[in-house]
Structure 1
Amino acid sequence: MIRNMNSYLLYDDGEHKVYWLGIEEAEDEKGILTNQYLVIDRNEAALIEPGGFFVFSRVLKNVSSIIPPTQIRYLMYSHQDPDVVAGLNLWFEYAPLAKIAISELWVRFIPHLAVLSVGRVIGIPDRGVDFKLGNSVIKAIPTHYLHSPGNFSFYDKKSGILFSSDIGAAAFPEGEWYLFVEDFEEHVKLMKGFHKRYMSSTRALRAWIRSVRRLNPKVIAPQHGAIFLDENVEKFLNWLESLEVGIDTFEMEFYGD
Protein backbone atom coordinates (compact mmCIF):
# COMPACT_ATOMS: atom_id res chain seq x y z
CA MET A 1 0.00 0.00 0.00
CA ILE A 2 1.18 3.52 -0.80
CA ARG A 3 1.21 5.86 2.18
CA ASN A 4 1.96 9.56 2.22
CA MET A 5 5.64 10.16 2.99
CA ASN A 6 7.49 13.37 3.60
CA SER A 7 11.09 13.93 2.54
CA TYR A 8 13.75 11.33 3.37
CA LEU A 9 17.36 12.28 4.08
CA LEU A 10 19.65 10.14 1.92
CA TYR A 11 22.96 11.79 2.84
CA ASP A 12 24.22 14.31 5.40
CA ASP A 13 27.81 15.24 6.22
CA GLY A 14 26.91 18.48 7.98
CA GLU A 15 27.46 20.82 5.01
CA HIS A 16 26.13 18.65 2.21
CA LYS A 17 22.69 17.01 2.22
CA VAL A 18 20.61 15.01 -0.24
CA TYR A 19 16.87 14.43 0.12
CA TRP A 20 14.29 12.33 -1.65
CA LEU A 21 11.22 14.55 -1.74
CA GLY A 22 8.35 12.35 -0.70
CA ILE A 23 5.23 10.86 -2.22
CA GLU A 24 1.46 11.16 -1.77
CA GLU A 25 -1.01 8.32 -2.15
CA ALA A 26 -3.19 10.31 -4.55
CA GLU A 27 -0.33 10.42 -7.08
CA ASP A 28 -0.84 6.73 -7.84
CA GLU A 29 -4.28 7.58 -9.24
CA LYS A 30 -3.12 10.51 -11.39
CA GLY A 31 -0.20 9.09 -13.36
CA ILE A 32 3.11 7.31 -13.20
CA LEU A 33 4.90 7.70 -9.86
CA THR A 34 7.96 9.95 -9.98
CA ASN A 35 10.92 10.73 -7.71
CA GLN A 36 12.33 14.20 -7.09
CA TYR A 37 15.58 14.95 -5.27
CA LEU A 38 17.10 17.97 -3.53
CA VAL A 39 20.87 18.42 -3.21
CA ILE A 40 22.09 21.13 -0.80
CA ASP A 41 25.61 22.37 -0.24
CA ARG A 42 25.88 25.21 2.27
CA ASN A 43 23.33 27.80 1.10
CA GLU A 44 22.84 26.58 -2.46
CA ALA A 45 20.53 23.85 -3.72
CA ALA A 46 19.81 21.89 -6.88
CA LEU A 47 16.37 20.40 -7.51
CA ILE A 48 16.80 17.30 -9.66
CA GLU A 49 13.90 16.07 -11.82
CA PRO A 50 11.44 18.70 -10.47
CA GLY A 51 8.45 16.90 -11.97
CA GLY A 52 5.15 17.59 -13.64
CA PHE A 53 2.12 19.69 -12.74
CA PHE A 54 0.30 17.41 -10.33
CA VAL A 55 3.30 16.77 -8.06
CA PHE A 56 4.29 20.44 -7.83
CA SER A 57 2.45 21.29 -4.62
CA ARG A 58 3.92 18.28 -2.81
CA VAL A 59 7.47 18.99 -4.03
CA LEU A 60 7.21 22.70 -3.16
CA LYS A 61 5.85 21.89 0.31
CA ASN A 62 8.65 19.42 1.02
CA VAL A 63 11.39 21.66 -0.36
CA SER A 64 10.05 24.58 1.70
CA SER A 65 10.19 22.48 4.87
CA ILE A 66 13.94 22.09 4.32
CA ILE A 67 15.15 25.37 2.73
CA PRO A 68 13.67 28.56 1.31
CA PRO A 69 13.06 27.80 -2.40
CA THR A 70 14.91 31.04 -3.21
CA GLN A 71 18.12 29.10 -2.42
CA ILE A 72 17.59 26.82 -5.42
CA ARG A 73 20.38 27.57 -7.88
CA TYR A 74 19.56 24.89 -10.47
CA LEU A 75 16.46 23.14 -11.75
CA MET A 76 18.07 20.08 -13.33
CA TYR A 77 16.23 18.08 -15.98
CA SER A 78 17.51 14.78 -17.34
CA HIS A 79 15.34 14.98 -20.47
CA GLN A 80 12.19 16.51 -21.94
CA ASP A 81 9.34 14.19 -20.88
CA PRO A 82 6.32 15.92 -19.30
CA ASP A 83 6.64 13.97 -16.05
CA VAL A 84 10.03 15.67 -15.68
CA VAL A 85 9.47 19.19 -17.05
CA ALA A 86 5.74 20.02 -17.11
CA GLY A 87 5.82 21.87 -13.78
CA LEU A 88 8.65 24.16 -14.88
CA ASN A 89 6.70 27.38 -15.22
CA LEU A 90 5.34 27.00 -11.67
CA TRP A 91 8.86 27.10 -10.24
CA PHE A 92 9.64 30.56 -11.63
CA GLU A 93 7.60 32.30 -8.93
CA TYR A 94 9.13 30.35 -6.04
CA ALA A 95 12.72 29.90 -7.28
CA PRO A 96 13.36 33.20 -9.07
CA LEU A 97 17.17 32.81 -9.11
CA ALA A 98 17.26 29.24 -10.42
CA LYS A 99 18.79 28.35 -13.77
CA ILE A 100 17.30 25.57 -15.90
CA ALA A 101 19.79 22.84 -16.83
CA ILE A 102 18.78 20.57 -19.72
CA SER A 103 20.35 19.06 -22.84
CA GLU A 104 21.19 21.53 -25.61
CA LEU A 105 18.80 19.52 -27.80
CA TRP A 106 15.82 20.66 -25.76
CA VAL A 107 16.67 24.32 -25.08
CA ARG A 108 14.53 25.58 -27.97
CA PHE A 109 11.56 23.55 -26.73
CA ILE A 110 11.54 25.09 -23.25
CA PRO A 111 9.71 28.31 -24.29
CA HIS A 112 6.72 26.14 -25.22
CA LEU A 113 6.50 25.22 -21.53
CA ALA A 114 7.71 28.41 -19.87
CA VAL A 115 7.56 31.71 -21.71
CA LEU A 116 9.63 33.41 -18.99
CA SER A 117 12.66 31.16 -19.52
CA VAL A 118 14.72 33.52 -21.73
CA GLY A 119 18.17 33.96 -20.21
CA ARG A 120 17.59 31.28 -17.57
CA VAL A 121 18.45 28.11 -19.50
CA ILE A 122 21.83 26.37 -19.43
CA GLY A 123 22.14 24.00 -22.39
CA ILE A 124 24.16 20.94 -21.36
CA PRO A 125 26.60 19.95 -24.13
CA ASP A 126 26.44 16.37 -25.38
CA ARG A 127 29.61 15.34 -23.53
CA GLY A 128 28.27 16.67 -20.22
CA VAL A 129 29.50 19.39 -17.88
CA ASP A 130 30.18 20.03 -14.19
CA PHE A 131 27.83 22.25 -12.18
CA LYS A 132 29.32 23.99 -9.16
CA LEU A 133 27.03 23.92 -6.14
CA GLY A 134 28.40 25.57 -2.99
CA ASN A 135 31.73 23.82 -2.42
CA SER A 136 30.69 20.72 -4.34
CA VAL A 137 30.09 19.56 -7.90
CA ILE A 138 27.23 17.81 -9.69
CA LYS A 139 28.34 16.15 -12.92
CA ALA A 140 26.02 15.79 -15.93
CA ILE A 141 26.73 12.31 -17.31
CA PRO A 142 25.81 11.55 -20.96
CA THR A 143 22.89 9.13 -21.03
CA HIS A 144 21.82 9.64 -24.64
CA TYR A 145 19.24 7.33 -26.24
CA LEU A 146 18.32 6.01 -22.77
CA HIS A 147 15.65 6.79 -23.69
CA SER A 148 15.84 10.35 -25.02
CA PRO A 149 18.41 11.35 -27.69
CA GLY A 150 19.37 14.20 -25.35
CA ASN A 151 19.47 12.61 -21.90
CA PHE A 152 21.67 13.03 -18.82
CA SER A 153 22.19 11.41 -15.46
CA PHE A 154 23.45 13.60 -12.63
CA TYR A 155 26.21 12.49 -10.28
CA ASP A 156 26.64 14.19 -6.93
CA LYS A 157 30.34 13.77 -6.14
CA LYS A 158 30.19 14.40 -2.39
CA SER A 159 27.45 11.90 -1.61
CA GLY A 160 28.31 9.40 -4.32
CA ILE A 161 24.66 9.36 -5.44
CA LEU A 162 23.91 8.90 -9.14
CA PHE A 163 20.52 10.27 -10.21
CA SER A 164 19.97 7.93 -13.13
CA SER A 165 16.96 9.41 -14.94
CA ASP A 166 14.74 6.64 -16.36
CA ILE A 167 17.45 4.00 -16.03
CA GLY A 168 16.37 1.90 -13.08
CA ALA A 169 12.70 2.78 -13.49
CA ALA A 170 10.19 0.28 -12.14
CA ALA A 171 6.50 0.04 -12.98
CA PHE A 172 4.78 -0.72 -9.67
CA PRO A 173 1.38 -2.40 -9.70
CA GLU A 174 -1.39 -0.09 -8.54
CA GLY A 175 -1.26 0.38 -4.79
CA GLU A 176 2.24 -1.10 -4.45
CA TRP A 177 5.35 0.96 -3.77
CA TYR A 178 8.57 0.98 -1.73
CA LEU A 179 11.45 3.46 -1.50
CA PHE A 180 14.47 1.12 -1.43
CA VAL A 181 15.12 -2.09 -3.34
CA GLU A 182 15.38 -4.98 -0.90
CA ASP A 183 14.62 -8.12 -2.90
CA PHE A 184 16.51 -7.47 -6.13
CA GLU A 185 15.25 -10.54 -8.01
CA GLU A 186 11.64 -9.60 -7.33
CA HIS A 187 12.31 -5.98 -8.26
CA VAL A 188 13.70 -7.04 -11.66
CA LYS A 189 10.19 -8.18 -12.59
CA LEU A 190 9.04 -4.56 -12.26
CA MET A 191 11.92 -3.18 -14.36
CA LYS A 192 12.45 -5.59 -17.23
CA GLY A 193 9.56 -4.68 -19.53
CA PHE A 194 10.15 -0.95 -19.14
CA HIS A 195 13.86 -1.17 -19.92
CA LYS A 196 13.47 -3.47 -22.92
CA ARG A 197 10.98 -1.06 -24.54
CA TYR A 198 12.06 2.41 -23.40
CA MET A 199 15.84 2.06 -23.57
CA SER A 200 16.44 2.36 -27.29
CA SER A 201 19.92 0.86 -27.74
CA THR A 202 21.86 -1.97 -26.09
CA ARG A 203 25.11 -0.36 -27.26
CA ALA A 204 24.18 2.96 -25.63
CA LEU A 205 23.19 1.19 -22.44
CA ARG A 206 26.51 -0.63 -22.16
CA ALA A 207 28.44 2.58 -22.87
CA TRP A 208 26.55 4.23 -20.01
CA ILE A 209 27.34 1.31 -17.70
CA ARG A 210 31.06 1.69 -18.47
CA SER A 211 30.97 5.38 -17.60
CA VAL A 212 29.03 4.69 -14.39
CA ARG A 213 31.47 2.01 -13.24
CA ARG A 214 34.26 4.59 -13.47
CA LEU A 215 32.29 6.79 -11.06
CA ASN A 216 31.70 3.90 -8.65
CA PRO A 217 28.47 5.33 -7.20
CA LYS A 218 27.35 4.36 -3.71
CA VAL A 219 23.67 4.87 -4.53
CA ILE A 220 21.64 4.86 -7.76
CA ALA A 221 18.45 6.90 -7.53
CA PRO A 222 16.14 6.74 -10.58
CA GLN A 223 13.35 9.11 -11.55
CA HIS A 224 10.80 6.28 -11.26
CA GLY A 225 10.80 3.25 -9.01
CA ALA A 226 13.00 2.43 -6.02
CA ILE A 227 16.51 3.44 -4.95
CA PHE A 228 19.46 1.04 -5.16
CA LEU A 229 21.83 0.87 -2.17
CA ASP A 230 24.92 -1.13 -1.21
CA GLU A 231 25.22 -4.51 -3.01
CA ASN A 232 22.11 -3.77 -5.09
CA VAL A 233 24.04 -1.08 -6.99
CA GLU A 234 26.37 -3.71 -8.45
CA LYS A 235 23.53 -6.20 -8.93
CA PHE A 236 21.66 -3.58 -10.91
CA LEU A 237 24.62 -2.73 -13.16
CA ASN A 238 25.31 -6.43 -13.76
CA TRP A 239 21.68 -7.02 -14.68
CA LEU A 240 21.68 -4.09 -17.11
CA GLU A 241 24.88 -5.34 -18.70
CA SER A 242 23.20 -8.62 -19.63
CA LEU A 243 20.06 -6.99 -21.04
CA GLU A 244 19.17 -6.59 -24.71
CA VAL A 245 16.94 -3.54 -25.23
CA GLY A 246 15.17 -1.35 -27.75
CA ILE A 247 15.55 -1.88 -31.47
CA ASP A 248 17.98 -4.76 -30.82
CA THR A 249 15.08 -6.64 -29.24
CA PHE A 250 12.13 -5.44 -31.30
CA GLU A 251 13.51 -5.06 -34.85
CA MET A 252 12.00 -8.28 -36.19
CA GLU A 253 8.70 -7.73 -34.39
CA PHE A 254 8.28 -4.20 -35.78
CA TYR A 255 9.77 -4.51 -39.25
CA GLY A 256 9.97 -8.21 -40.11
CA ASP A 257 12.72 -9.59 -42.36
Structure 2
Amino acid sequence: MIRNMNSYPLYDDGEHKVFWLGIEESEDEKGILTNQYLVVDGNEAALIEPGGFFVFSRVLKNVSSIVPPTQIKYLLYSHQDPDVVAGLNLWFEYAPLAKLVISELWVRFIPHLAVLSAGRTIGIPDRGADFKLGKSTIRAVPSHYLHSPGNFSFYDEKSGILFSSDIGAAAFSKDEWYLFVEDFDEHVRHMEGFHRRYMSSTKALKAWVRHVRKLKPRVIAPQHGAIFRDEHVGKFLNWLESLEVGIDVFEKEFYGE
Protein backbone atom coordinates (compact mmCIF):
# COMPACT_ATOMS: atom_id res chain seq x y z
CA MET A 1 0.00 0.00 0.00
CA ILE A 2 1.33 3.43 -0.94
CA ARG A 3 1.65 5.82 1.96
CA ASN A 4 2.41 9.52 2.04
CA MET A 5 6.13 10.03 2.54
CA ASN A 6 8.26 13.10 2.89
CA SER A 7 11.85 13.32 1.68
CA TYR A 8 14.25 10.50 2.53
CA PRO A 9 18.05 10.89 2.80
CA LEU A 10 20.06 8.65 0.47
CA TYR A 11 23.46 10.11 1.41
CA ASP A 12 24.78 12.58 3.97
CA ASP A 13 28.40 13.26 4.89
CA GLY A 14 27.63 16.63 6.48
CA GLU A 15 28.65 18.73 3.48
CA HIS A 16 27.19 16.70 0.62
CA LYS A 17 23.63 15.38 0.81
CA VAL A 18 21.23 13.52 -1.49
CA PHE A 19 17.48 13.15 -0.95
CA TRP A 20 14.63 11.28 -2.55
CA LEU A 21 11.76 13.77 -2.52
CA GLY A 22 8.78 11.81 -1.34
CA ILE A 23 5.47 10.59 -2.69
CA GLU A 24 1.77 11.11 -2.03
CA GLU A 25 -1.10 8.63 -2.17
CA SER A 26 -3.02 10.70 -4.72
CA GLU A 27 -0.21 10.47 -7.28
CA ASP A 28 -1.02 6.82 -7.86
CA GLU A 29 -4.45 7.84 -9.16
CA LYS A 30 -3.16 10.46 -11.62
CA GLY A 31 -0.56 8.53 -13.58
CA ILE A 32 2.65 6.54 -13.29
CA LEU A 33 4.51 7.32 -10.09
CA THR A 34 7.63 9.46 -10.47
CA ASN A 35 10.75 9.99 -8.38
CA GLN A 36 12.49 13.32 -7.91
CA TYR A 37 15.87 13.80 -6.25
CA LEU A 38 17.80 16.67 -4.67
CA VAL A 39 21.59 16.89 -4.43
CA VAL A 40 23.01 19.50 -2.07
CA ASP A 41 26.67 20.47 -1.75
CA GLY A 42 27.38 23.38 0.57
CA ASN A 43 25.07 26.24 -0.47
CA GLU A 44 24.23 24.89 -3.93
CA ALA A 45 21.60 22.36 -4.96
CA ALA A 46 20.58 20.42 -8.06
CA LEU A 47 17.06 19.15 -8.59
CA ILE A 48 17.04 15.98 -10.70
CA GLU A 49 13.93 15.04 -12.74
CA PRO A 50 11.81 17.92 -11.29
CA GLY A 51 8.58 16.42 -12.62
CA GLY A 52 5.25 17.49 -14.02
CA PHE A 53 2.56 19.89 -12.87
CA PHE A 54 0.61 17.75 -10.42
CA VAL A 55 3.66 16.73 -8.33
CA PHE A 56 5.01 20.27 -8.12
CA SER A 57 3.50 21.26 -4.77
CA ARG A 58 4.80 18.09 -3.08
CA VAL A 59 8.29 18.47 -4.56
CA LEU A 60 8.47 22.19 -3.72
CA LYS A 61 7.38 21.53 -0.14
CA ASN A 62 9.98 18.82 0.35
CA VAL A 63 12.76 20.80 -1.32
CA SER A 64 11.93 23.83 0.82
CA SER A 65 12.21 21.73 3.98
CA ILE A 66 15.86 21.06 3.03
CA VAL A 67 17.11 24.21 1.24
CA PRO A 68 15.59 27.48 0.02
CA PRO A 69 14.65 27.04 -3.68
CA THR A 70 16.84 30.07 -4.42
CA GLN A 71 19.84 27.79 -3.79
CA ILE A 72 18.92 25.52 -6.71
CA LYS A 73 21.65 25.95 -9.31
CA TYR A 74 20.51 23.30 -11.80
CA LEU A 75 17.25 21.72 -12.90
CA LEU A 76 18.58 18.50 -14.43
CA TYR A 77 16.33 16.80 -16.99
CA SER A 78 17.20 13.38 -18.37
CA HIS A 79 14.88 13.76 -21.38
CA GLN A 80 11.82 15.54 -22.72
CA ASP A 81 8.82 13.55 -21.49
CA PRO A 82 6.03 15.59 -19.81
CA ASP A 83 6.30 13.66 -16.54
CA VAL A 84 9.85 15.08 -16.36
CA VAL A 85 9.54 18.61 -17.79
CA ALA A 86 5.91 19.77 -17.56
CA GLY A 87 6.46 21.69 -14.31
CA LEU A 88 9.32 23.77 -15.73
CA ASN A 89 7.44 27.08 -15.77
CA LEU A 90 6.71 26.75 -12.06
CA TRP A 91 10.33 25.90 -11.22
CA PHE A 92 11.57 28.90 -13.19
CA GLU A 93 9.34 31.06 -10.97
CA TYR A 94 10.21 29.51 -7.59
CA ALA A 95 13.90 28.81 -8.32
CA PRO A 96 14.85 32.05 -10.10
CA LEU A 97 18.59 31.34 -10.22
CA ALA A 98 18.33 27.80 -11.57
CA LYS A 99 19.56 26.80 -15.03
CA LEU A 100 17.65 24.27 -17.11
CA VAL A 101 19.96 21.42 -18.19
CA ILE A 102 18.78 19.04 -20.93
CA SER A 103 20.09 17.36 -24.09
CA GLU A 104 20.93 19.72 -26.93
CA LEU A 105 18.35 17.79 -28.97
CA TRP A 106 15.50 19.11 -26.81
CA VAL A 107 16.54 22.73 -26.23
CA ARG A 108 14.59 24.01 -29.23
CA PHE A 109 11.42 22.27 -27.99
CA ILE A 110 11.37 24.12 -24.65
CA PRO A 111 9.44 27.13 -26.05
CA HIS A 112 6.55 24.76 -26.82
CA LEU A 113 6.08 24.46 -23.06
CA ALA A 114 5.35 28.22 -23.03
CA VAL A 115 8.62 28.71 -21.17
CA LEU A 116 10.80 31.76 -21.76
CA SER A 117 14.17 30.16 -21.11
CA ALA A 118 16.59 32.49 -22.89
CA GLY A 119 19.80 32.70 -20.89
CA ARG A 120 18.70 29.96 -18.51
CA THR A 121 19.21 26.86 -20.68
CA ILE A 122 22.28 24.64 -20.91
CA GLY A 123 22.24 22.07 -23.71
CA ILE A 124 24.16 18.88 -22.96
CA PRO A 125 26.27 17.68 -25.90
CA ASP A 126 25.76 14.09 -26.99
CA ARG A 127 28.96 12.88 -25.32
CA GLY A 128 27.89 14.29 -21.94
CA ALA A 129 29.32 16.96 -19.66
CA ASP A 130 30.31 17.65 -16.05
CA PHE A 131 28.45 20.11 -13.84
CA LYS A 132 30.08 21.63 -10.77
CA LEU A 133 27.92 21.76 -7.68
CA GLY A 134 29.65 23.33 -4.70
CA LYS A 135 32.86 21.32 -4.35
CA SER A 136 31.38 18.27 -6.09
CA THR A 137 30.64 17.17 -9.66
CA ILE A 138 27.56 15.72 -11.31
CA ARG A 139 28.30 13.96 -14.59
CA ALA A 140 25.78 13.71 -17.43
CA VAL A 141 26.18 10.14 -18.72
CA PRO A 142 24.95 9.42 -22.29
CA SER A 143 21.91 7.13 -22.24
CA HIS A 144 20.67 7.77 -25.77
CA TYR A 145 17.82 5.63 -27.13
CA LEU A 146 17.03 4.47 -23.58
CA HIS A 147 14.36 5.47 -24.38
CA SER A 148 14.72 8.97 -25.78
CA PRO A 149 17.19 9.67 -28.63
CA GLY A 150 18.55 12.45 -26.43
CA ASN A 151 18.70 10.86 -22.97
CA PHE A 152 21.09 11.24 -20.04
CA SER A 153 21.65 9.63 -16.69
CA PHE A 154 23.25 11.78 -13.98
CA TYR A 155 26.08 10.46 -11.82
CA ASP A 156 26.81 12.18 -8.52
CA GLU A 157 30.48 11.40 -8.03
CA LYS A 158 30.60 12.21 -4.31
CA SER A 159 27.76 9.93 -3.21
CA GLY A 160 28.21 7.30 -5.92
CA ILE A 161 24.53 7.55 -6.83
CA LEU A 162 23.54 7.15 -10.48
CA PHE A 163 20.19 8.76 -11.36
CA SER A 164 19.29 6.50 -14.25
CA SER A 165 16.25 8.16 -15.82
CA ASP A 166 13.79 5.54 -17.15
CA ILE A 167 16.41 2.79 -17.04
CA GLY A 168 15.34 0.69 -14.08
CA ALA A 169 11.79 2.03 -14.14
CA ALA A 170 9.11 -0.15 -12.57
CA ALA A 171 5.36 0.08 -13.04
CA PHE A 172 3.74 -0.95 -9.77
CA SER A 173 0.20 -2.23 -9.53
CA LYS A 174 -2.27 0.18 -7.90
CA ASP A 175 -1.82 -0.80 -4.26
CA GLU A 176 1.84 -1.86 -4.38
CA TRP A 177 4.86 0.38 -3.81
CA TYR A 178 8.21 0.28 -2.01
CA LEU A 179 11.18 2.63 -2.02
CA PHE A 180 14.06 0.13 -2.16
CA VAL A 181 14.33 -3.15 -4.03
CA GLU A 182 14.54 -5.97 -1.48
CA ASP A 183 13.57 -9.01 -3.60
CA PHE A 184 15.14 -8.56 -7.03
CA ASP A 185 13.54 -11.59 -8.69
CA GLU A 186 10.11 -10.41 -7.59
CA HIS A 187 10.86 -6.83 -8.70
CA VAL A 188 11.67 -7.96 -12.26
CA ARG A 189 7.97 -8.50 -13.00
CA HIS A 190 7.41 -4.76 -12.50
CA MET A 191 10.26 -3.83 -14.88
CA GLU A 192 10.38 -6.32 -17.74
CA GLY A 193 7.40 -5.21 -19.83
CA PHE A 194 8.34 -1.55 -19.52
CA HIS A 195 11.94 -2.13 -20.59
CA ARG A 196 11.09 -4.36 -23.54
CA ARG A 197 8.65 -1.75 -24.88
CA TYR A 198 10.28 1.57 -23.98
CA MET A 199 14.00 0.85 -24.33
CA SER A 200 14.57 1.04 -28.08
CA SER A 201 17.87 -0.78 -28.62
CA THR A 202 19.58 -3.80 -27.07
CA LYS A 203 22.92 -2.52 -28.40
CA ALA A 204 22.43 0.84 -26.68
CA LEU A 205 21.41 -0.89 -23.45
CA LYS A 206 24.50 -3.11 -23.38
CA ALA A 207 26.75 -0.12 -24.12
CA TRP A 208 25.19 1.79 -21.22
CA VAL A 209 25.73 -1.15 -18.85
CA ARG A 210 29.40 -1.43 -19.87
CA HIS A 211 29.95 2.25 -19.18
CA VAL A 212 28.05 2.23 -15.89
CA ARG A 213 30.13 -0.70 -14.61
CA LYS A 214 33.20 1.52 -14.98
CA LEU A 215 31.57 4.16 -12.79
CA LYS A 216 30.92 1.57 -10.05
CA PRO A 217 27.80 3.24 -8.64
CA ARG A 218 26.81 2.39 -5.08
CA VAL A 219 23.15 3.18 -5.77
CA ILE A 220 21.03 3.35 -8.94
CA ALA A 221 17.98 5.59 -8.60
CA PRO A 222 15.49 5.56 -11.50
CA GLN A 223 12.79 8.09 -12.32
CA HIS A 224 10.05 5.52 -11.75
CA GLY A 225 9.83 2.61 -9.32
CA ALA A 226 12.24 1.50 -6.62
CA ILE A 227 15.88 2.29 -5.88
CA PHE A 228 18.67 -0.27 -6.26
CA ARG A 229 21.39 -0.47 -3.59
CA ASP A 230 23.94 -2.96 -2.22
CA GLU A 231 23.92 -6.29 -4.09
CA HIS A 232 20.86 -5.27 -6.12
CA VAL A 233 22.95 -2.82 -8.16
CA GLY A 234 24.96 -5.71 -9.62
CA LYS A 235 21.87 -7.88 -10.05
CA PHE A 236 20.16 -5.08 -11.96
CA LEU A 237 23.11 -4.53 -14.30
CA ASN A 238 23.38 -8.28 -14.94
CA TRP A 239 19.68 -8.43 -15.74
CA LEU A 240 19.89 -5.51 -18.17
CA GLU A 241 22.89 -7.07 -19.90
CA SER A 242 20.89 -10.20 -20.73
CA LEU A 243 17.72 -8.39 -21.85
CA GLU A 244 16.53 -7.98 -25.46
CA VAL A 245 14.49 -4.84 -26.03
CA GLY A 246 12.84 -2.52 -28.51
CA ILE A 247 13.62 -2.82 -32.18
CA ASP A 248 15.32 -6.16 -31.60
CA VAL A 249 12.10 -7.82 -30.46
CA PHE A 250 9.40 -5.78 -32.22
CA GLU A 251 8.96 -8.10 -35.22
CA LYS A 252 8.02 -11.05 -33.06
CA GLU A 253 6.05 -8.94 -30.59
CA PHE A 254 3.92 -7.04 -33.11
CA TYR A 255 3.82 -9.19 -36.21
CA GLY A 256 4.17 -12.66 -34.69
CA GLU A 257 7.15 -13.50 -36.91
Q: Give the TM-score normalised by structure 1.
A: 0.98
CA contact (8 A) 2:88 2:115 kept: no
1:127 aligns with 2:127: yes
Please state how far the C-alpha of 1:256 moved relative to its aligned partner: 6.8
Indicate the residue corresponding to 1:191 in structure 2.
Answer: 191
Partner of 1:83: 83
Q: CA deviation at 1:255?
A: 5.5
- Structure 2 portions without partners, runs of 5+: none
Structure 2 CA distance for aligned equivalents of residues 14 and 92 of structure 1? 28
Aligned to 1:246, what secondary structure does the other structure show? coil
The share of aligned pairs that are identical, in percent, is 84
How far, CA to CA, are the matches of 2:87 and 2:25 in structure 1? 19
Deviation sequence 1:177-211 (CA, Å, 0-9, x none) = 00000000000010000000000000000000011
Residue 246 of structure 1 corresponds to 246
Unaligned runs of 5+ in 1: none
1:153-172 deviations in Å (ceiling 9; x for gaps): 00000000000000000010
Take 1:56 and 1:176, find their aligned partners in 2: how far apart are those partners? Answer: 23
* Structure 2 SS opposite 1:17: strand
Deviating 4+ runs (over 6 angstroms): none
Question: Whole-Å Cα distance in 2 between the matches of residues 60 and 201 of structure 1?
Answer: 35
Q: CA RMSD in A?
A: 0.9
Deviation per CA, 1:106-137, whole angstroms, max 9, x where unpaired? 00001111432111110000000000000000
Deviation at 1:254, TM superposition (A): 3.6
- Indicate yes or no: 2:20 matched with 1:20: yes
Q: Residues 196-215 of structure 1 correspond to what in structure 2 (within 5 A)?
A: 196-215=196-215
How many angstroms apart in 1 are the aligned matches of 2:114 and 2:128?
A: 24
Counterpart in the other structure of 2:92: 92
Asked whether the 8 Å contact 1:88–1:114 carries over to 2, the reply is no
CA deviations over 1:54-94 (Å, ceiling 9, x no partner): 00000000000000000000000000000000000001111
CA distance in 2 between partners of 1:170 and 1:3 (Å): 17
Give yes or no for contact 2:146–2:198 (8 Å, CA) kept in 1: yes
TM-score w.r.t. length of structure 2: 0.98
